[in-house]
Copies of this chain bind each other. A is one copy, B any other.
Amino acid sequence: MPSKYRSNALAAVHETAADLHRVGGMDQKTMRKFDALCLTPIQEMTPEKIRALRTRENASQTVFAAYLNVTPSLVSKWERGEKRPQGASLKLLSLVDRKGLEVVA
């Protein structure tokens, strides 16, 4: 699990403030850094949460898996706590949580 993003982002703010302090404009890179700070924090997903999410979307494990481009077997394991989603998988799940299955269609 990425652990440095939060502090990295905070560091970015600090630097961004410094950039703003300097008269002139923000360049694209700085904009991006600022954006990164605005990223929705990713929270852990419990097995229950994942299942609730899927049923909320009226999807079977198979269909749900198809949306996420993973195997149905993996979705089953997530829901039974045998594996826990991380990185990109977790990001995708939290995206579905906030915006629905449609956004990943």
Contacts and interface: CB of A to CB of B under 8 A. Distances in A.
Where chain A touches its partner, the secondary structure class is: helix
- Number of chain copies forming the complex: 2
B29 A60 contact: yes
A63 B36 contact: yes
A46 interface: no
A32 B55 CA distance: 12
B66 A88 contact: no
A38 B105 CA distance: 8
Contacts of A88: 68-70, 85, 87-89, 91-92
A40 B105 contact: yes
A92 B69 CA distance: 9
B103 A103 contact: yes
A25 interface: no
Q: Which 3 A-B pairs have the closest CB atoms?
A: A69-B91, A88-B89, A88-B88
